[in-house]
Amino acid sequence: MKAYVFPGQGAQFTGMGKDLFDQYSIARQLFEEANDILGFSITEKMFYGSDADLKETHVTQPAVFLHSVIAYKTLNENQLPNMVAGHSLGEFSALVANETLSFADGLRLVAKRANAMQKACQLQPSGMAVVMGIGDEKVKDICSQIDEIVVPANYNSPGQLVISGSLKGLELASEAIKNAGAKRVLMLNVGGAFHSPLMLPAQEELTNAIEETIFNNPICAVYQNCTATPSISPDLIKQSLIKQLTAPVLWTKTIKNMIHDGATQFVEFGPGEILQGLIKKIDSSVEICGKK
């Protein structure tokens, strides 16, 4: 069975999507539609923007979404997925691929999400750090003992976990995690504490937009970040998508559940190869490839 997966923020690079724009008329049509929806030239930022341009949340999230969805629409060789999943932001791309969301509605929600998250980031200095070489439960236990906001945010693969919180919380947790034997703790270059309680203002803002958007019956199940389980109910998909901003991304469990349910081939659509690397660490026996 084929499982299609879609990356999140962090996979962006200058020039992303230009080859698709040059080669496919449908890609040009969708990119031009995106420029109209967003009210600025996202193509200019994606094709020719600097690293600094692409790291701005209101640019990064629509850019990664567009690259992923347009790659899917041009490179999937008309083979429909048996199941889909996306990492964080990538869940919106996955919901377009399984036809829960239209392209336009998906992009509008991503733009709303990006702007809401950027505003939330400005309320308090915060960030994220990747932790390597120590058990997930140990990290979770250490975070729970810190008298600042800091929580596990992304359960990416065995031995790799991202924590999220206030800068003081990250500093205290990082020191304690290193002392507990972690191989490495590295601050990430992101705008704030995604998938933590500090995103609650963004969650509240995004809730109304999600509730007002039409969610269709999907052609296949989406394995959602905050549950790691398959969903086909539009109402349940909405609820989990709202929770996603403040809940951890259960990626390791997601991939294991997809394999348990019959996935034998994973195809990553979008910039980079981040998810391919994580899936190999989770289960090296499955077939993995990327299309971008």
CA pair distance 292, 19, nearest whole angstrom: 9
Tokens, residue 226: 């905050």
Element housing 221 (H / E)? strand 221-223
Q: Is 87 a catalytic residue?
A: no
Of 87, 174, 195, 231, the catalytic one is 195
The question of whether 102 is a catalytic residue gets the answer no
* DSSP tag of 249: B
3-class SS at 212? Answer: coil
Strand order in the sheet with 184-187: 150-157, 160-166, 126-132, 184-187
SS3 131: strand
Q: Which of 99, 106, 117 is nearest to 210 (CA)?
A: 106
Which residue type, as a one-letter code, is found at position 9? Q
The one catalytic residue in 67, 68, 87, 88 is 88
**Residues involved in catalysis:** 88, 195
